[in-house]
């Protein structure tokens, strides 16, 4: 059975896309821990990070670094924290979470924002990503 992320990759479910290439997809987390919380995933459905082929794993992290810089510029966060938890969706995904303190890394703070707010965040991060090349 396809994961929710595979359904997003296939276009069966919508997302607020930040970046896409041949191996990866990045989009805003539906529950924003802090504004700008972004996910980077492989297009290949693979459950655990230990099983991600090296080429794809390296691409995820290279893209995460670029996307993280754009998120940092947009949010003006002190740090962009990364975490791969993996219990909520059985498809490897790297969280990029803007943070000003360790207290910001609390998934219980995750909240759904209205579509207009999500679009504003998406457009802001994408604009920063384009600006930094």
Contacts for 1-5 with beta carbons within 8 Å, 24 or more apart?
2/45, 3/45, 3/89, 3/90, 3/91, 4/89, 4/91, 5/41, 5/45, 5/89, 5/91, 5/93
Predicted pLDDT at 78 = 97
Predicted pLDDT at 43 = 96
Question: Inter-axis angle of helices 54-75 and 115-132, to 10 degrees?
Answer: 110
How far are the Cα atoms of 58, 65, 95 from residue 16, in angstroms, in the given order?
23, 19, 15
Q: Provide the 3-class DSSP secondary structure of residue 44.
A: coil
Q: pLDDT in tens for each of the 133 residues of the chain?
A: 688 999 999 999 999 999 999 999 999 999 999 999 999 999 999 999 999 999 999 999 999 999 999 999 999 999 999 999 878 888 999 999 999 999 999 999 999 999 999 999 999 999 999 999 8
- Residue that the structure tokens 């207009």 belong to: 116
- Alpha carbon 55 to its chain's center: 19
Predicted pLDDT at 25 = 98
Predicted pLDDT at 32 = 98
Predicted pLDDT at 87 = 80
Range of the domain at 34: 4-132
Predicted pLDDT at 3 = 87
Predicted pLDDT at 133 = 85
Cβ atoms within 10 Å of 43's Cβ, excluding its own: 17
Number of domains in the chain: 1
Q: Is the dihedral of CA 119, 90, 63, 12 positive or negative?
A: negative
CATH of the domain at 40: 3.30.428.10
């Amino acid at each position: 059975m396809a994961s929710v992320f595979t359904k997003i990759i296939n276009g069966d479910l919508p997302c607020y896309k930040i970046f896409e290439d041949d191996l990866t997809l990045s989009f805003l987390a539906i529950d924003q821990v802090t504004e700008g919380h972004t996910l980077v995933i492989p297009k290949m459905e693979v459950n655990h990070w230990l099983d991600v082929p090296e080429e794809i794993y390296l691409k995820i992290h290279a893209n995460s670094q670029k996307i993280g810089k754009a998120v940092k510029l947009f949010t003006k966060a002190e740090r962009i924290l990364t975490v791969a938890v993996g219990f909520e969706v059985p498809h490897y995904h790297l969280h990029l979470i803007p943070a000003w303190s360790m207290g910001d890394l609390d998934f219980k703070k995750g909240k759904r924002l209205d579509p207009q707010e999500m679009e504003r965040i998406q457009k802001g991060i994408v604009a920063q990503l384009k600006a930094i090349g």
